[in-house]
């Protein structure tokens, strides 16, 4: 005669609710960051052409735009030199190391580009990429 054991067996179950919550949070995060990236690249800049241009591996950088008249834009809003320097210092303080992607118009005076490079160095930038088009 065989005896069967009566009792409760602990069943392991998989909870879907936390996974669904996390999926929605990630979806919202990527939607918001995509919007920010589009705004950063929305300033009409005519990039110079370079024969040896290469796309950066990642664009996880702070994007600064410099138009043809030498005016700075942080994202899609105009900014003064002091505002750009303060922005770069805050980014370096909050998210070191500071990496910058400069989109300068091909008619931008080289003096303004040099001034920006000096500001970036003063703020602590370690990596600076210049935006160009491939020839």
> pLDDT, tens digit, for every residue of 27-58?
888 776 665 555 556 677 887 888 887 766 66
In the CATH hierarchy, which top-level class contains the domain 18-134?
A: alpha beta
Alpha carbons 64 and 73: distance in angstroms, whole number: 6
Q: What is the pLDDT of residue 86?
A: 93
Q: What is the pLDDT of residue 2?
A: 60
Residues of the chain scoring pLDDT < 50:
none
Question: Percentage of the chain surpassing pLDDT 70?
Answer: 80
């Amino acid at each position: 005669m065989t005896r069967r054991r009566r009792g409760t067996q602990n069943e392991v179950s998989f909870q879907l609710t936390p996974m669904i919550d996390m999926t929605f949070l990630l979806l919202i995060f990527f939607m918001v960051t995509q919007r920010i990236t589009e705004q950063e690249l929305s300033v009409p800049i005519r990039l110079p052409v370079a024969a040896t241009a290469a796309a950066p591996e990642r664009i996880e950088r702070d994007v600064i735009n410099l138009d043809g008249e030498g005016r700075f834009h942080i994202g899609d809003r105009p900014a003064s030199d002091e505002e750009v320097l303060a922005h770069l210092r805050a980014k370096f303080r909050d998210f070191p190391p500071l990496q910058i992607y400069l989109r300068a118009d091909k008619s931008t005076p080289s003096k303004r580009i040099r001034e920006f490079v000096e500001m970036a160095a003063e703020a602590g930038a370690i990596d600076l990429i210049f935006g160009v088009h491939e020839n």
